[in-house]
């Protein structure tokens, strides 16, 4: 490479390396961490893909979905009649103490109290919820 080309290239490299990680990078890291946590804490009973059968309802597109509304799943009466919408706050409360949040649910108790862990799992659940359910749940 001739010297007059090398200089701008170096400048570009320095600019790239010196830049703070973008918010996209943070988001990617959170989603990846969330997937690992989901695999460890939730995957046993929940698919992240509506075509996969699992013991619990699939959680694809769960964000802002009405509770108990995935058509092919046999929910408890408690969940089906709850009338709640899976907002981030509701999902947090559910992860923290699902049985306390909704007595009568048939989901085994999970007790994830660490907000950072909840955040990661929420990032992952948002990432697998490309469908905009907000209009339907108004
Ligand atoms: C031991 C199995 C099991 C584990 C582990 C589990 N779940 Fe569940 N989950 C269920 C079952 C069963 C239901 C249906 C409950 C009902 O009908 O009352 C459910 C329901 C749900 C719902 C309601 C979905 C809807 O369509 O309304 C959400 C949200 C949910 N689980 C999230 C999670 C998350 C997040 C984790 C991991 C932190 C998790 N679950 C771990 C079995 C499990």
Q: Where are the domains of the chain?
A: 34-138
**Ligand 1 neighbourhood includes 57 CB (under 6 angstroms):** yes
Quickly count helices (H) and strands (E) in the chain. Answer: 5, 0
What separation in Å is there between the alpha carbon of 26 and the centre of ligand 1?
27
DSSP 43-85: TTT--SSTTS--SSPP-TT-TTPBTT--TT----HHHHTS--B
Q: What pLDDT was estimated at residue 138? A: 47
Pocket test for ligand 1, best of 42, 93, 94, 107 (most atoms within 8 A of CB): 107
Per-residue tens of pLDDT for the chain, all 138 residues: 555 555 555 555 555 556 677 888 999 999 999 999 999 999 999 998 888 878 999 999 999 999 999 998 999 999 999 999 999 999 999 999 999 999 999 999 999 999 999 999 999 999 999 988 886 644
What separation in Å is there between the alpha carbon of 51 and the centre of ligand 1?
16
pTM, entire model: 0.85
Domain covering 34-138 assigned CATH 1.10.760.10 in the classification = yes
Q: How many CB atoms lie within 10 A of CB 69?
A: 17
What separation in Å is there between the alpha carbon of 106 and the centre of ligand 1?
8
């Amino acid at each position: 490479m001739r010297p007059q080309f090398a200089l701008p290239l170096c400048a570009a490299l320095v600019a790239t390396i010196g830049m703070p990680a973008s918010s996209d990078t943070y988001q990617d890291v959170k989603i990846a961490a969330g997937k690992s946590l989901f695999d460890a804490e939730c995957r046993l009973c929940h698919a992240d893909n509506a075509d996969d059968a699992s013991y619990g309802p699939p959680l694809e597109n769960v964000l802002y979905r009405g509770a108990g509304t995935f058509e092919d799943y046999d929910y408890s009466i408690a969940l089906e009649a709850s009338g709640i919408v899976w907002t981030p706050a509701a999902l947090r409360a559910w992860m923290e103490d699902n049985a306390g949040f909704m007595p009568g649910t048939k989901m085994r108790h999970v007790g994830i109290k660490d907000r950072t862990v909840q955040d990661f799992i929420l990032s992952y659940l948002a990432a697998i919820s490309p469908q905009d359910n907000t209009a339907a749940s108004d």
